[in-house]
Structure 1
Amino acid sequence: MISLTSPVETRAHGWPAGAKLAALCVATMGLFSLTHPALQAAALAVTLLLYALPGWRFFKVGLARLRVLLPFVVLIMVWHIVTHDIMAGATVTLRMMTAVALANLVTMTTKLAQMVAVVTWLTTPLRRLGIQTRAIELGIALVIRFTPVLAQKGQLLAQSWRARSTKRVGWRMIIPFTVLAIDDAEHVAEALRARGGL
């Protein structure tokens, strides 16, 4: 899941979060039953149609959030070209794009509080066994919230690199990106401690 709730209101915004997450699980499992690239391409086309139904603005924002997949798509395809297994590479790539696009669609039409409520409900049996689940619920909320934030910071780092160097953005980005992620984690930890922690 790589997006926050879309400001563009759609009918899906009013649907129950649990139903959307359950449908996402079923759809993702269904993708793994499709073994031919043509079927995966059809599934991706249907997903893109779902993005287009609410209008151009929603479609544009949704696709913009999916750009973070581009490096992974290139890496997977290059590897499968080198290993002479292009069909498998196309299947894996299309499946990944569709699965992430569907997850992104769910997060774009579901408020974070609604997702946390679903997780709280799912972990009810664990609480009855005496297991503290607040950390699990908070962890899931933080992952959903900070994944797009870190992706945006990664894009800004890449833009800064291109503005200062003629060399391609490569492995040198890993260290500053890691430092940014750790810095954000420390700020969040301090904020949690200031509010009583877990």
Structure 2
Amino acid sequence: MPAGVKLAALSLATVGLFMLDDPAWLALALAGVVALILTGGLRFARAAARSLRILVPFLLLIAVWHGLTGQLAEGLAVALRLMAALSLANFVTMTTRLTDMVAVAGFLTTPFRRFGLSTRALELSVALVVRFTPAIARQGSLLSEAWRARSPRRTGWQIVMPLAALAIDDAEHVAEALRARGGVEPPNDTG
């Protein structure tokens, strides 16, 4: 299926998910997304689940908070909606080549070029976000494992600064590589 069709279907499905409020319908939608992911096989489904595993504590926190405030149905709906939308987005990114997604971004930004605006930076941004999001999540997982190996306490905010430093370091390396290839102009520090 072409990348443009997948991304359009993802957009429509996400809008549809945000129109649903009933947790039963949202659970059914999530089951449909899981069935879609399973069409890729068990190995593919395990890889998809691993990449989304970091979301589970946040979604549980949302549900628990709403439960404590007497809005359990709303919290469950929010958690199910987010899990379904993010799982579907993950499925699309796992089944679509990065170059195809960048081409779709280039096509969608074509009208801006008519006004003389360069869309190359936006297209490159799409590629970098898709490429580096899993890498940053992997680094966060490694930092959490390192924390657990050294401390009996649970990991938490303590890994935020090291993760931010790693992300900034990676961004600087990518920027240097892009500049070396003539892809990005260095920032102007003169004002």
TM-score bracket for this pair, using the shorter chain length: over 0.9
Greater displacement, 153-162 / 185-194: 185-194
How many equivalent residue pairs? Answer: 184
Q: State the AA in 1 paired with 2:76.
A: A
Question: 2:53 matched to 1:67?
Answer: yes
Verify: 1:80 aligned to 2:32, yes or no: no
TM-score normalised by length of structure 2 = 0.93
Equivalent position of 2:187 in the other structure: none
Shift of 1:88: 0.6
Name the SS for the 2:10 alignment partner. helix
Structure 1: runs of 5+ lacking an equivalent? 1-14
Give the aligned partner of residue 123 of structure 2: 137
Q: Tell me the distance in 2 between the aligned counterparts of 1:78 and 1:188.
A: 39
Equivalent-residue separation in structure 1 for 2:47 and 2:117 (angstroms): 39
Query: How far, CA to CA, are the matches of 1:151 and 1:112 in structure 2?
Result: 18
Distance between the aligned counterparts of 2:48 and 2:55, measured in 1? 12
1:64 Cα offset (Å):
1.4
Structure 1 residue runs of 4+, over 2 Å off? none
Greater mean alpha carbon deviation, residues 67-76 or residues 34-43: 67-76
2:176 match: 190
Deviations 1:143-195 (A, max 9, x none): 01100000000000000000010011111111111111111111111111111
Higher relative contact order (CA 8 A, sep 6+): 1
Within-5 A mapping of 1:93-108: 93-108=79-94
Aligned partners of 2:65 and 2:176: how far apart in 1? 41
Query: Is residue 2:33 matched to residue 1:47?
Result: yes
Work out the CA distance in 2 between the residues paired with 1:79 and 1:146: 31
Q: How does 1:90-129 map to 2 (within 5 A)?
A: 90-129=76-115
Distance in 2 separating the partners of 1:16 and 1:197: 27
> What RMSD in Å do the two structures reach over aligned CA positions?
1.0
User: CA offset at residue 132 of structure 1?
Assistant: 0.7
1:57 paired to 2:37: no
Percent identical among aligned pairs is 57
Amino acid at match of 1:163: A
Q: Is 1:25 aligned to 2:11, yes or no?
A: yes
Q: Indicate the residue corresponding to 2:136 in structure 1.
A: 150
